[in-house]
Structure 1
Amino acid sequence: MSAPISAHAIAPAAVLRGEGAWVQALPQIASLSQVPLLLGRSSQTELFRRQLFEDLQRAGLSPRSAQLHSDCCEEDLQRLVLDMSDSPERPCDAVIAAGGGKVLDAGKLLANRLNLPCITVPLSAATCAGWTALANLYSPDGAFQRDVALPRCPDLLVFDHALVRQAPPHTLASGIADALAKWYEAAVSSASSEDGLVQQAVQMARVLRDQLLIDSVEAMRDPSGDSWVRVAEACALTAGVMGGLGGARCRTVAAHAVHNGLTQLAAARAVLHGEKVGFGILVQLRLEDRLGDNRLAAQAHRQLLPLLQQLGLPVSLADLGLAEASLSDLQSVCDFACREGSDLHHLPFSVSPGALLEALVGAAEPIPVHS
């Protein structure tokens, strides 16, 4: 029997990586655009974006700039579409998104809605959003709403080590946790697939995990070393490949569902995406041990917990700033994570909100090893 047709958006059309990649990318950007819109958000990256803007001008382009008011949300996107449509000036002919994951997601969505080329310039290695054909939409207050599959990956990704190296160290730690989740999620949801591409994506996720287990601590210790390069590129580039090859089940499962639930609480929104995902891996491993009869889950939990702690990542509700969260608040996290259509249901077993709450509360507690 022939397999059903499936479509895959696997990688950006072009990727430039390395020290000084941004300057080297300017001729390629000029081949895509003459009036690019430079999109950003954070005041922490304003000086970098100003430099990028001036570089674009020196390259003979006529850039314009725009700033997000919130996380990647529908209201901001609609405002930007209207602003660009109503402008009396020469219309922008590409979107350059420079920033963290939510800025990169917003840039991809905006470019898609306006049918313009998209160029992503990650200013940290906290996520693989600069690579993927996927974006997450949030409320203006930062609560996760839904993810959006896009028809293609960005036209150009510029991963300049010099720019990314200047990001706060905890952004790289967050990226490590987010990238590690590729293995823990894909292994439980897709390992039994008979689809060759899915099998290959799962094995890539395993290799990615091994690389991070070997290099992460040294990368955090020495941002000028080779380990930093391998880890930063693993988080921001390689981690994006798995979902493109293997589909949704190789992309997000329980760890990301826990993240999505946690964003419903204002107290947890200041915690970075990958920090919440890393905590979610610990929760998922507890679920696998208790409900999925995975006898390797305890061993995986025992291996991962000290690494997350060594990287300064949250491993408990208290670490997430939720020590005083009410039972009602935590129940709302679990209800959202277990809602219909949630990534949690990619697990090969059922999870109730009550079982998830128990795993949430006990995430950092050792799991007894089965004999």
Structure 2
Amino acid sequence: MDNIIISPSKYIQGEGALDNIGKYVSVFGGKPLAIADDFVMGLVRDRVDSSIAGEGLQVSFDKFNGECSRPEIDRLIEVCKTGGNDVIVGIGGGKTLDTAKSVAYYSKLPVVIVPTIASTDAPTSALAVIYTPEGEFSEYLLFPSNPNMVIMDTGIIAAAPVRTLVAGMGDALSTYFEARANGLSGKATMAGGAPTRSAQALAKLCYDTLIADGEKAKAAVESGVSTKAVENIIEANTYLSGIGFESSGLAAAHAIHNGLTKLEECHHLLHGEKVAFGTLTQLVLENASTQEFEQVLGFCRAVGLPTNLHEMGVEEVDDEKLMAVAEASCAEGETIHNMPFPVTAKSVFAAIKTAHRLGLK
């Protein structure tokens, strides 16, 4: 199996980067379609419009309706076709960005990704997570290439709700542990080959950055300011985690996240909040050292990530419902089968219950 690493063609990060979006988009086309939800439209539309118009481009905007689902993707493909757009610009959170990538893929157009939060590692990846219109996990959609460009305006991201940055840390928290498991199993990564040493190093750097700067970054954004720690965490949540997971592999943590979408009580949670608990569960599943588990548990508590089912909204732990979560986590094709040992629904059920118990304060 070949060693493969993949990444966006260009990654741009800096305060005020959005004001240069017209210059960046102009290399791909003259009629961009910008996709964003109502809130993001109100937040950035004037700046985007001004910058793109300043480059002589003709931009059109369309509202993202909230779920990265097949019906929403199909609707926007038709909008793009009717409008004669030649480049897709996705602005917002993970589901908006995954929708933009999907529309660009099916329309055979370049895509520019502009996150307004650092809540997931979705921006850099060559995949999208597709949900049902009701919000349950449906499938992974894999693309032949990563986004053409990712633009991170750290001023906007630092001013976003603190919870989103913390959720991004939860998503990034799994990167190293899933990469480690995937490396031990020798299974192919999301990039379609064996991991490179550089991808594994980025995954480890992601974890080290979280431990070093996560709590400080949270304190800064809670105070309404951006610091070097915030800049580092934005990069960890987005680029380090993105390259790390995609080119080093996913394993149990994200599969358990997908299983948790079966619990209606967890639908209010952000992606990374569920992934954080999935990481704790993976560590139990693989019988990680007490020292390592305690470090991850302590980090989650320090930044405010859920460590047990009660904190995730599950008031009464129901074994039948948890077994359904475990079974969904072990579905055919799920990334949990990248673990370096056989995994069953029974073993996942046991790990979830144990992680919950260990995570109780």
**Alignment TM-score > 0.5, same fold:** yes
Report whether the alignment pairs 1:51 with 2:38. Answer: no
Distance 1:322 1:122 in 2: 30
1:74 and 2:70 are equivalent in the alignment: yes
Q: Distance in 2 between matches of 1:276 and 1:221?
A: 22
- Distance in 1 between residues matched to 2:154 and 2:206, nearest whole Å: 19
- Secondary structure of the equivalent of 1:159? strand
Quick one: distance in 2 between partners of 1:187 and 1:326? 31
Superposed CA deviations along residues 346-369 of structure 1, whole A, max 9, x for unmatched, are 1111222122122212214349xx
**Structure 1 residue ranges (4+ consecutive) displaced by more than 6 angstroms after TM superposition:** none
Give the superposition deviation at 1:24: 2.4
Q: CA deviation at 1:263?
A: 1.1
Verify the 8 A CA contact 1:97 1:121 in the aligned structure 2: yes
State whether residues 53 and 63 of structure 1, in contact with CA within 8 Å, keep that contact through their aligned partners in structure 2.
Answer: no
Q: Which runs of 5+ in 2 are unaligned?
A: 188-192
Match of 1:11 among 7, 10, 18: 7
- More displaced, 22-31 or 216-225? 22-31
Are 1:39 and 2:35 an aligned pair?
Answer: yes
Residue number in structure 1 paired with 2:218: 220
2:301 corresponds to which residue? 309
1:292 corresponds in structure 2 to none
Is contact 1:178–1:278 with CA below 8 Å preserved after alignment? yes
Distance 1:279 1:243, change over 3 A: closer
Deviation at 1:258, TM superposition (A): 0.7
Q: Distance in 1 between matches of 2:220 and 2:71?
A: 40
Measure how far apart 1:49 and its partner are: 3.7
Specify the alignment match of 2:258 in structure 1: 260
Q: Gaps spanning 5+ residues in structure 1: where? A: 290-295
After the TM superposition, which of the residue ranges 55-64 and 190-199 deviates more from structure 2? 190-199
The farther-off stretch of 167-176 and 233-242 is 233-242
Matches of 2:12 and 2:168, distance apart in 1: 19
Deviation at 1:138, TM superposition (A): 0.6
Post-superposition offset of 1:7? 6.0
Determine the structure 2 residue equivalent to 1:355. 347
Secondary structure at 2:307 match in 1? coil
What is the aligned partner in structure 1 of residue 276 from structure 2? 278
Superposition pairs of residues 77-96 of structure 1, within 5 angstroms: 77-85=73-81, 87=82, 89=83, 91-96=84-89
Whether the aligned pair in 2 keeps the contact of 1:16 and 1:25 (CA below 8 Å) is no
For residues 257 and 196 of structure 1, the distance between their equivalents in structure 2, rounded to whole angstroms, comes to 20
Once residues 43 and 10 of structure 2 are traced to their aligned partners in structure 1, the CA distance between those partners, rounded to angstroms, is 22
Deviation for aligned residue 1:58: 4.0
Alpha-carbon RMSD: 2.1
Cα deviation for residue 197 of structure 1 reads 4.4
Q: 1:358 to 1:323 in 2, by over 3 A?
A: farther
Give 2:181's aligned residue: 188
CA distance in 2, matches of 1:307, 1:143: 28
Partners of 1:149 and 1:275 in 2: CA distance: 23
Provide the rounded CA distance (Å) in 2 between the counterparts of 1:6 and 1:203. 14
| Residue identity (%) | 30
Which amino acid in 1 is paired with 2:120? T
State whether structure 2 residue 316 is matched by structure 1 residue 321.
no
Distance 1:33 1:68 in 2: 21
Q: How does 1:294-305 map to 2 (within 5 A)?
A: 296-305=288-297
- How big is each residue's C-alpha offset from its partner over 1:193-226, in whole Å with a ceiling of 9 and x where there is no partner? 5998434322321122111101110011113211
Residue 243 (structure 2) pairs with residue 241 (structure 1):
yes
Figure out how many residues of one structure are paired with residues of the other and give that number: 349
With the length of structure 1 as denominator, give the TM-score of the two structures.
0.88
**Deviation digits for residues 135-188 of structure 1 (CA, Å, limit 9, x no counterpart):** 111101111111121111111111111121121111111111211211111112
- Alpha-carbon distance between aligned partners in 2 of 1:40 and 1:284, rounded to the nearest angstrom: 34
Q: Does the 8 Å CA contact 2:8/2:148 hold for their aligned counterparts?
A: yes
CA separation of 1:47/1:325 partners in 2, compared to 1, >3 Å: closer, same or farther? farther
Match of 1:122 in 2: 115
User: Partner letter of residue 45 of structure 2?
Assistant: R
Q: TM-score by structure 2 length?
A: 0.91
Distance 1:273 1:317 in 2: 15
Contact 1:133–1:154 (Cα < 8 Å) also in 2: yes
In structure 1, the partner of 2:190 is none
> What CA distance in whole angstroms lies between the structure 1 residues aligned with 2:135 and 2:210?
29
Call closer, same or farther: CA 1:306–1:243 in 2, change over 3 Å: closer
AA at the equivalent of 2:341: F
Partner of 1:293: none
- Return the alpha-carbon distance in structure 2 between the equivalents of residues 79 and 325 of structure 1: 39
The Cα offsets for residues 324-348 of structure 1, whole Å up to 9 and x where unpaired, read as 3533322211111011111111111
Q: Deviations over 1:43-69 (max 9, x none)?
A: 432312422442223443221111222
Distance across 2 between alignment mates of 1:156 and 1:136: 19
Partner residue of 2:163 out of 170, 178, 182:
170
